[in-house]
Amino acid sequence: MEEERIQKILARAGYGSRRKIEVWIREGKILVNGVPAILGQKITETADIQLDGQRLRLASRLKATPRVLLYHKKMGEVCSRDDPEGRDTVFKELPPIKPGRWISVGRLDINTDGLLLFTNDGELANKMMHPSSELEREYAVRVLGAVTDEMLDNLRKGVMLEDGKASFTNIVFAGGGGANSWFHVTLKEGRNREVRRLWESQDVKVSRLRRIRYGSIKLERRLRPGKYEDLPVRQTRNLYKSLGLEVDESLLPQREVQKRNTLYGQNKSTKYQQKKSTVWGKRSKRK
């Protein structure tokens, strides 16, 4: 059986992102065959792994079909699994999943609503969040205050925030008038409150913020706040391919499975489904 890095296997099994698992390893929370794990250590899926004294079931989890869930986050919800203040969490709205667990792809602050993605594949979540993937995040933003062309130029060219330079890769006027204006803005990273801080650097206030796209995945109008749906199999498969990740056999059309199995002398089959989608909203260009 092939050996792989421990953080890769645990992430793929849905125990967390690679970054989170690396933190656990540094803190000595993970044991391999009774010995503290080492960063980069290679193991097989049959290794005896424990996290905080609890044995992890790797083999059964790794057999789960990879899933990507689209959730329309409501304002007022937090993105943690449990909240000490008793606020509603997004995880309470998600369907149960066995084996594995849901991992959020990034976060949205309590006052932001819109598209939030989840997956049971930690490796996929890590890849989607990593800056090297350069996946675009698009937001619909309502700002309070006059917005000038000079401000928009500043936001495109980049402004210095407390944690470094930041900018929007695209800004499109999306309607409104008077004191309130709507814009669609795009950026390729997910720093804490980055969209709000960029606008605040120009002395305008964000009065409403909704994420409407993450990479090629869009928030559809049919998906109401507090509701979720699975990303269709074809789109999930294409997502893996676009990120350079191996596509699980359960996501492949039957003809591709047969082709792959012919190469490896196997004989398995799988089914897949397709769904149509509609685009969230229309844009209007600023004149």
> Active-site residues: which are they?
109
Distant-in-sequence, close-in-space partners of 248: CB < 8 Å, separation ≥ 6: 65, 66, 240
Q: Which of 245, 240, 249, 191 is nearest to 8 (CA)?
A: 245
Residue 215 backbone zone (phi > 0: left; psi -120 to 50: alpha; other: beta):
left
Backbone angles phi, psi at 229, to 5 degrees: -155, 155
Residue 62: enclosing H or E segment and its boundaries? Answer: helix 58-62
The Cα–Cα gap between 206 and 141 comes to 7
**Cβ(47)–Cβ(33) under 8 Å?**
yes
User: Taking the alpha carbons of 242, 2, 63, 28 in that order, is the dihedral positive or negative?
Assistant: negative
What is the spatial order of strands in the sheet that 49-51 belongs to? Answer: 35-36, 30-32, 49-51, 54-55
Q: Which of 236, 141, 231, 235 is nearest to 186 (CA)?
A: 141
* Token pair recorded at residue 96: 């149960």
Beta strand spans in 84-179 (E): 103-105, 113-119, 137-144, 159-161, 164-166, 170-177
Between strands 137-144 and 205-214, the pairing is antiparallel
The Cα–Cα gap between 260 and 251 comes to 13
